[in-house]
Each structure stands twice: as C-alpha cells, then as structure tokens.
Structure 1
C-alpha cells in the first residue's frame, strides 16, 4: 500500500502589503516640542525657599527696605503715585511751583536768625558785643513780622490764582500749604522744587 504524504497546510493569513512610502521618523521622544517660553521658564534658576524663620524675616526686611527706597526716590521726584495725600493733585502742584519760582523773604528767615545767633556767641570786645546783642534783640521782631506778612501774602495770592485756574477743584488749605512752603529753605523743601526761580523747569542731572 502506498503511504500518503503529510502535507503542511498553507498559511492562508493575508500578508501585509509593503508600503511604498517610507515611514516618517518620529520626532523627539514621542512628545510635542515645548514652547519657547516654557523652555525658558524651566531653565531659570528656581528661588530657594528660606530655610528658617530668621532667613525669611531677613528677606522680608530687604524687600521692605528696597520698596521704601524706591518710593522715597519717587516722592523726591514728585511722582503723583508716591506722594502723601496732602501733596497730591494739580492744585497742590501749582502751589509748589508758584512758591518755588519766586525768591520770597520767608525762605531767608532761618539762615538770618542762625547767622545772628552765631554772631551773638562770638566773644567780641565788649562794645562790639553790645551792638551785636542790640541788633539781635531788635531784629527778631522785625524778621518775624516780615515772615508773617510774607505768609499772608503768599497764601492769599496762591488761593486766588488757584480759584481762577482750577474752577470746581477742591482748594481748601492750599493757601496755608503754599505759605508754609514759602518759609522753608529751598533745598529743604519736599517734594523737591520742579522749577527754578523765574519759572524755568529744573533739569535732572
């Protein structure tokens, strides 16, 4: 008898057709390319947290000190946001500029008084010393009268000009504000003068 040869059944599963188009290379590591701002943010050095309460308090004081220095510089420059409430507004700015653009008698009050006091302390010969003391005694009332008259004049003029230039604005206290500024020496005024005597603006150095 003839033996039947065992034949291996053919694999009928379909063979995948070879894609003629080359496969695209996978970009990166399988994730989208990060945006530039995100990459820059990750490259920045993170701020280390304070290790203890003492370190945190030190950093807090440094921040407060820096903010105070920045605010003071802005106040000296006359920036509106940094000024105290009594110095804010166009009316108060006008009063400051009006006083700063003039050489008024009140601003010389303190230097003259200090000069006379120093003269009275110098050990002059007796006749000269008597004259100096006499001048000191009688000059003080005269100087005070000039200062008071100067304050009244400045207060009335500034208030009148403010009413004319700023109708509808609150001008309460602007006369007294200007009068007090007129009694201060120029380099001691705060905020700093923005105009020179005569009205020309101060140029920053």
Structure 2
C-alpha cells in the first residue's frame, strides 16, 4: 500500500515539474523555410524600428531641392533685373520689338505734360479737404485745363512718332500710339522698363 501510494505521488510530482525551456521554444524550421523563400534573413525588431524612424525624404533629396529652389530664385532675380534694364530677351510681349524700344527712348528723352498729371491730382485732393470752396473751384478749372493740355500733347506726340517710325522702319506697328501715351503720363522714375536715355537724348 505504501509503495503504490509513493509511486502515485512521484507520478503527480513529475507531472507538475516545469516543461524544459528548449522544448517550449517554437520549432525554428518554419522560420528557416520563410527566410529561404525570401532569400534573406528576417530582420530583427530593432532593425525594423530603426528603418521606420528614418525620414521619408533623404538628406540628398532635400539638398537637391534646396539647390533647385535657389537656382530658380536667382533666375527670377536675373529676369527681373534684365526686364528693368530693357534687355530684349527678358521683356514682356508688350515691350518687345525695336519699334517699342524706339518709342520708349523717344518718350524718355522728351518732357511730357502728362508727367505732372499725377502730382497735380494729389495736390487737388489735398486742397479739396483743406481749402475753402472758392479756392477749390479754381483748382478744378486748373485740372480741366491740364487735361486739355495732356490731350493736345498726345496728338503732337502721336504725329511726331508716326513720322519718325515710318522714316526709320517703313511702317508703324499697331498699338504704338496707346503704348506711347501711357508711358508719357507716367512719372519718369516709375516707368518700366527703366529709361535708358537721358533727357533730350533722342534716338536717331
């Protein structure tokens, strides 16, 4: 009786013993088969996390983008300076062509009555808010007189330019009259492209 009871207790204690660690580990055979199929070993978790932490855009690409933006900015600055200086390849379609360059040079060489229109208009606005009504009326008449002079100056300018352009180029392009008048009423420092001639330095 005692012997059989002892044998039964030994069997129960052997059942309660912890399973060997080596036996508890998963069979590495499926993992080796997966690695053979992929042709490379399965990366460790730490390696996968390090890959995920890397930036989406590489440093070389960032540097290349920065250089491209810097080159574009320099090109824009060069084009702006070229347009202001009247370089033909940087001019807009409105300003391109030898006849339009001739018109610009002629307008910039002469004094046009239209140049004083903007300063006069600003002066009238100031007077309208600061002076009595009687004085405002006098300045209103002065503005109308200035407009009449600007229109007469435009007719004279158009007549002179037509003769000069036909003598130099044989014919006159369409739209040059409006182009010349619009430039003549602008203040000289604000004209674009910038004047390339001095006063009374008329083109031949």
Question: What TM-score results when the alignment is normalised by the length of structure 1?
Answer: 0.63
Matched, 1:81 2:89: yes
Q: Report if aligned partners of 1:92, 1:174 keep a CA contact under 8 Å in 2.
A: yes
Question: What TM-score results when the alignment is normalised by the length of structure 2?
Answer: 0.63
Please list every run of 5 or more consecutive structure 2 residues that lacks an aligned counterpart in the other structure. Answer: 1-56
After superposition, what is the alpha-carbon deviation per residue over 1:130-177, rounded to whole angstroms, capped at 9, x for unaligned? Answer: 23311232223222222222222212321221011112x662222221
Question: What is the deviation of 1:90?
Answer: 1.4
- The 1:50–1:165 alpha-carbon spacing in structure 2 relative to 1, beyond 3 Å, is farther
Q: Name which of 93, 116, 127 aligns with 2:124.
A: 116
- Higher relative contact order, chain-length normalized (CA < 8 Å, sep 6+): 2
Aligned length: 147
Match of 1:106 in 2: 114
Match of 1:166 in 2: 169
Please list every run of 5 or more consecutive structure 1 residues that lacks an aligned counterpart in the other structure. Answer: 1-48
Q: Going by fraction, where is helix more abundant, 1 or 2?
A: 2
After superposing the two structures, state which structure 1 stretch, 152-161 or 173-182, moved more.
Answer: 152-161
Larger radius of gyration: 2
Question: What is the deviation of 1:76?
Answer: 1.0
Question: What is the deviation of 1:104?
Answer: 1.1
**RMSD after superposition:** 2.5
